[in-house]
Amino acid sequence: MASELASLALVSAAVAAAMAYARLATSRVGPGLVRLAALLPVLLVLPVPPFTFSPILLRTVSALFLVWLCGFKLLLAAGHGPLHPALPVVLFVACAALPIKLRDRGAEKSRSLPPEFLLSYAAKAALFAALISLRRIRARMPAYAVVAFDGAHVYLTLELFMASAAAFARALLGAELEPQFDRPYLASSLRDFWGHRWNLMVPGALRPSVYRPVRARLGAPAGVLATFLVSGLMHVLMFYYITLEAGTGEVTAFFLLHGACVVADRWCARQRGHVLKGYVRTCHKSNSINFD
């Protein structure tokens, strides 16, 4: 335990120093390839710190924070947002290294959390504790129950851990932060789930870094597929930090399948919109004739 705390302190200090250098580089060099070259040493170092942790949870969480989220934030900082060099050093470091994003300046500010927010997370924490206690009987569960059990476990682990990090940053920095999840269990479609409800830090990073550039050159369907491909590859990397074994490609194939489904969902929604508009125009013409 003492060695892990020492590793955590060492990694935190090293990451803070690296992010301070990144802020200095972005403040001295304009957007473009030169700034990217200045940030490249930090991007090359970020994959290393998670390997200093023996526990799987610490290794995986630090990889998610540093290799994925921080890495993409720094890539975006080479051109524009979300890490603006005008941010104070402490705020820049926190926004880079933690799974947080500042609210827009025009957003309504609130210094206290609403009671329903606290009750919601209290209920999720209680459910998470119940799942932990039930894990000993997981091997005896039916296959469909194992899928539901593991899905709920992953969701609650991510949301509670990331919400705790955000609450710590909110209290420390006194800044308004955007939520990381938005009730993914209420998603109405795959588009809604991946784009607007699940782990919002990830689509917030992939949308400007992958989707928009590819869409501008090859169209929206290619942008969606490219985004899910990158997401799949990053998930493979996260699984490597968990298992320390090379992936088999199944995870990437899973995300590509979801990307294809999102493209199909967008096409179907567009077709439904055309049909609905045609129906409205027909009804309007019919009513015009009846009233003439």
Report pLDDT digits (tens) over 264-279: 988 888 876 655 455 4
Q: Which residues contact 195 (CB under 8 A, 6 or more apart)?
A: 203
Whether 287 shows a pLDDT value over 60: the answer reads no
CA distance readout (Å), 12 to 63, 87, 123, 241: 13, 20, 31, 18
Q: Which residues contact 183 (CB under 8 A, 6 or more apart)?
A: 197
Question: Which pLDDT does position 229 carry in this prediction?
Answer: 94
Bigger pLDDT: 69 or 258? Answer: 258
Question: Which pLDDT does position 285 carry in this prediction?
Answer: 47
Q: Which of 252, 245, 248, 238 is nearest to 60 (CA)?
A: 238
Q: Which residues contact 50 (CB under 8 A, 6 or more apart)?
A: 58, 59, 60, 62, 63, 66, 67, 241
Q: Which of 217, 178, 176 is nearest to 196 (CA)?
A: 178
Residue 280's CB is within 10 A of a number of other CB atoms, namely: 10
Question: Which pLDDT does position 172 carry in this prediction?
Answer: 72
Question: Which pLDDT does position 283 carry in this prediction?
Answer: 45
What are the two backbone dihedrals, phi and then psi, of residue 30, each rounded to the nearest 5 degrees? -70, 165
Whether 209 shows a pLDDT value over 50: the answer reads yes
Question: Which pLDDT does position 175 carry in this prediction?
Answer: 64
Please provide the average confidence, as pLDDT, over all residues in the chain.
81
What's the predicted TM-score (pTM) here? 0.77
| Token representation of residue 278 | 């045609």
- 8 Å CB contact between 87 and 95: yes
Question: Which pLDDT does position 289 carry in this prediction?
Answer: 45
Which of 157-161, 269-273, 288-292: highest mean pLDDT? 157-161
